[in-house]
Amino acid sequence: MNGKLQIIPTILATTEKEYKSKLQEIENTPEFEGGWVQIDLMDNKFVQNTSITPEVIARYPTSLKKEAHLMVEYPESWIDELVNLKVERIIFPLEDKEGITERVTHIKNHGLEVGLALNPETPVAKLEPYIGTIDLVLILSVHPGFGGQKFLPGVLPKIKEAAALKERGRFLIEVDGGINKEVAGRAAAEGADILVVGSHLFDGNVSENLEKIWQAVFAGKSSGH
């Protein structure tokens, strides 16, 4: 909550082999040492894709802090298993029809941070009932479920709108989806605290790709866009 921008890697893996490979790449990148990794979990119901399971995460311990992004139909059935995996933060969809307050309380009672994710078409105003109880808002800048999609520029005003709400609640704004060197600076300038990067990080040399994104962030901020 100190206003310092973070860039964190995300792993969207459909196989154990892919998860292991991406995790090792992140762990071997000095810039990420002691930082966070986001792990996407999907059930082929909330989104039309499946992912590795918590059992796979358990097989590959890491010193990185783990953020679990649940893109699943029944998040409550995943929480206790993720608590046992010692994740530090659990994010679940705001689009859940009911039980959000109880789920937030459940996660917080385990001493974990909790976040709510907004699909691109979901208005920021729907966060209103939960301001003050959540630690993070995840603004999805692609439609969830698949990596490699293009950033949707229509979410930029949503970042700014969420930033205005921070006067009433202390939470981080995380932006996830299509983040590359072309859009990173714009997202940061609108008020993002965390940029989540996936396919644009792993396509080539991770350190070099990360450096390009940081350069774009600094360029975007200095230009005032």
Q: What is the token pair recorded at 173?
A: 């704004």
Max Cα separation, the chain? Answer: 46
Helix (H, G, I), strand (E, B) or coil at 30: helix
Give domain status of residue 23, yes or no. Answer: yes
Active-site amino acid positions: 40, 176
Q: Counting beta carbons within 10 angstroms of the beta carbon of residue 20, is it exposed (0 to 12), middle (13 to 18) or buried (19 or more)?
A: middle
User: Is 93:71 a contact under the CB 8 Å cutoff?
Assistant: yes
- Secondary structure of 153-198 as H, E, C letters: HHHHHHHHHHHHHCCCCCCEEEEECCCCCCCHHHHHHHCCCEEEEC
Q: Domain count for the chain, please give it.
A: 1
- Amino acid identity, residue 215? Q
Bridge partners for 114 per DSSP: 90
CATH number of the domain within which 199 lies: 3.20.20.70
Listed residue (221, 36, 4, 165) closest to 113, CA to CA: 36
- The dihedrals phi and psi of 116, each to the nearest 5 degrees, come to -115, 135
**Res 221: pLDDT:** 59
The residues with which 195 forms a beta bridge, in sequence order, are 7, 175
**Which residues of the chain fall below pLDDT 50?**
1-2, 225
Q: Per residue in 85-114, pLDDT tens?
A: 999 999 999 987 678 999 999 999 999 999
Parent domain of 60: 6-223
CA neighbor of 65 nearest in space, from 30, 92, 38 = 38
Q: What is the pLDDT of residue 1?
A: 36
pLDDT of residue 2: 37
User: Residue 132 domain-assigned?
Assistant: yes
185 part of a folded domain: yes
**pTM of the model as a whole:** 0.92
Within 13 A of 5's CA, how many CA atoms are on the CB side?
Answer: 21
> Could you give the dihedral angle defined by the CA atoms of residues 77, 61, 36 and 7, in that order, rounded to the nearest 10 degrees?
-110
Is 45 inside a domain boundary? yes
- Does residue 191 lie in a domain region? yes
Q: What is the pLDDT of residue 148?
A: 67
Structural domain contains residue 1 = no
Q: Which residues in 144-154 are b (16+ Cβ under 10 Å) and which e?
A: bbebebebbee
- 89-93/65-71 β-pairing: parallel
Burial label, 184 (beta-carbon count in 10 A; 0-12, 13-18, 19+):
buried
